[in-house]
Structure 1
Amino acid sequence: MCGIKTIVTTVGRPNQHSFELAEKACKALELPFIERKKKSLQKIAEEHHANLIVAGKLSYEYLPFESEEPFFFHPSSAAFRLKRIARGEHEPFLDVAKLQKGDTFLDCTLGLGSDSIVAAYAVGDIGLVIGCEGNPNVAFIVREGLRSYDRAQLPLLSCMDHIQVVSSLAIDYLKQQQDNAFDVVYMDPMFEETIEESKNFSPLRVAGLQNSLTDEWVEEAKRVAKKRVVLKAHFRSPLFDQYHFKRDIRYNAKFHYGVIEL
């Protein structure tokens, strides 16, 4: 959240690993550490007028100032989508993106990374998946979550290891890339219209940066993409027609995909 500082603290009953995680967050993001001292997270946030990164016993949570729900990493829909893909079932995102083993994929709107996880599975070990996240706190939480999430019962999620998280606005990152740098460039401006059923994204709607698609963003994406640019948006979105995406209509689905072939 712009204009509001961020501090690091721990859960109420931290162990040694909690303090190690807190130190790691402080170093990575150059943030101060505040001892918990039995205070509630809300009290600490109010006293310091700050967002909080909370180091737990195994992982992190991010509590934006005045938010009631913390943001934490979980693979969201990626887990069951990967199971369906492994069974040879239909996956609309891959049908449109047409990713092949060894492809390079840029996710301009990483969020929780569910689509990037599916992309990483599709491109395999020899491919490359990079996800941009404009909020450095969210980028840190997702980066660490991708590395440390317990996938003992979900071996398909091992592909998460191959995702690189970049803390940058998408447009800034795109401008730094050469022409045709990625096979596929993907954009999901998920804040364009709220879907009530998507409750698992509520904390991200507070924590994430809400940037709208622009002419410059689309043109840079087309320059950087070698094969195609893919858009995910609400089925009522004007973006498909505005930017000439060929829409993949999915009846009874809240979101549609669009593609620009290059």
Structure 2
Amino acid sequence: MREVKTIVTTAGRPDDLSLALAAFACQQLDASFEPRKKRSVRKISQELHAHVIVAGKNRFEYYAFGANEPFFFHPNSAAFRLKRVARGEAEPFLEVVQLEIGDSVLDCTLGLAADAMLAAYTVGEAGRVVGLEANPNVAFIVKQGMQSYDTTELPLTACMRQIEVVHAEAISYLKTLPDNAFDVVYMDPMFEEVIAEANNFEALRLAGEHVTLTDEWVSEAKRVARKRVVLKAHFRSEWFTKYHFQQFERTTAKFHYGVLNV
């Protein structure tokens, strides 16, 4: 099977900034640059059999090979969830993870980082939030997006800037860590049963890595977590019982959280 490479191009009418951003993306991803030459992104992708990163004036976009819509960073649900939390309203994720100021959190499946932003808000500047993303292109888009997304909304901006994005597969990364390296290890490996929270979620599903929970993953997460391991899964998932997570049911939600205290 022919390998799908990644190339970088610009928007239709590139300026100096777009060209500079394209050069940066090429360097970060070890990818080659392809001039746009008035071609559509879809045509470039098909001609070169490639994933395409587009460096625009305001953001990077990622077209996975065969995808019709781009994946790009946007805080999505995190913005209104953080506003609710700041008002003192209940947030199911935070109720389950039970974070304290100064805690460290490892998010094994970062995605669009909405949960990681809530974690960063709660642990504060004294804490640490690391997010793993197995797909290098998705990791690049999310990392650059959180560093440059233009928002005056606080605390959203500070939360985005605080998260450390790491391009790594969860089990491999966990194996590099000592015991009790993080207070909380969080896993959200659901890609097969998608409940869209935003229009961009479908693009993420197509662009990201499809993973499933395994014995090894749970075992490594328990070893690395000092306080607890938290799982997000479809409410009918057998993982809660199989791995002895305490399932927190929510009557109106398609996804439930589970907790393993260690």
| SS of equivalent to 2:231 | strand
Q: What is the CA–CA distance in structure 1 between the aligned matches of 2:154 and 2:255, rounded to whole Å?
A: 28
Aligned to 2:154: 155
Cα 1:34–1:167 change in 2 (3 A) is same
Q: TM-score, structure 1 length as denominator?
A: 0.97
Q: Secondary structure at the match of 1:116?
A: helix
Aligned to 1:96: 96
Please report how far the alpha carbon of residue 58 of structure 1 lies from its aligned counterpart in structure 2 after TM superposition: 1.8
Shift in Å, 1:198: 5.4
Q: Determine the structure 2 residue equivalent to 1:9.
A: 9
What is the deviation of 1:193?
A: 1.5
Q: Which residue of 2 aligns with 1:229?
A: 229
SS state at 2:164 partner: strand
Report the residue type matching 2:91 in the other structure.
Answer: E
Secondary structure in 1 aligned to 2:38? coil
Offset from partner CA, 1:168-212 (integer Å, 9 cap, x none): 000110000000000000000121412266543100111000010
1:61-210 paired onto structure 2 within 5 Å: 61-152=61-152, 154-157=153-156, 158-195=158-195, 199-210=199-210
Contact 2:77 2:198 in 1 (8 A): no
- The percentage of aligned residue pairs carrying the same residue is 61
Instruction: Give distance in 2, aligned partners of 1:67 and 1:192.
Output: 17
Distance 2:239 2:144 in 1: 33
Take 1:42 and 1:201, find their aligned partners in 2: how far apart are those partners?
A: 20
User: Given that residues 97 and 230 in structure 1 are in contact (C-alpha distance below 8 angstroms), is that contact kept between their aligned partners in structure 2?
Assistant: yes
Task: Give, as a single letter, the amino acid of the residue that structure 2 aligns with 1:205.
Answer: R
- Match of 1:191, as an amino acid? F
| Contact 2:77-2:197 at 8 Å conserved across structures | no
In the alignment, is residue 59 of structure 1 matched against residue 59 of structure 2?
A: yes
Take 2:91 and 2:167, find their aligned partners in 1: how far apart are those partners?
28
Deviations 1:135-167 (A, max 9, x none): 000000000001000112x12112111100000
Range that drifts further, 124-133 or 185-194 = 185-194
Contact conserved, 2:190 with 2:211, CA < 8 A, in 1? no
Which residue number corresponds to residue 24 of structure 1? 24
- Structure-1 separation of matches of 2:3 and 2:37: 26
Structure 1 residues 76-125: Cα deviation after superposition (integer angstroms, max 9, x where no partner): 11100000000000000000000111000000000011100110111101
Counterpart CA distance in 1 for 2:199 and 2:58 is 24
Q: Give the Cα–Cα distance (whole angstroms) in 2 for the partners of residues 26 and 88 of structure 1.
A: 43
Q: Distance in 2 between matches of 1:94 and 1:76?
A: 17
Alignment: residue pair count? 260
Structure 1 residues without counterparts, runs of 5 or longer: none
Q: Deviations over 1:203-261 (max 9, x none)?
A: 01110000100000000000000000000011111111111100111111111000001
- 3-state SS of paired residue (2:62): strand
CA shift, 1:18, in A, is 0.6
CA contact (8 A) 1:6 1:52 kept: yes
> Quick check: 1:12–1:36 contact (8 Å CA) kept in 2?
yes
8 Å CA contact 2:93–2:257 kept in 1: the answer is: yes
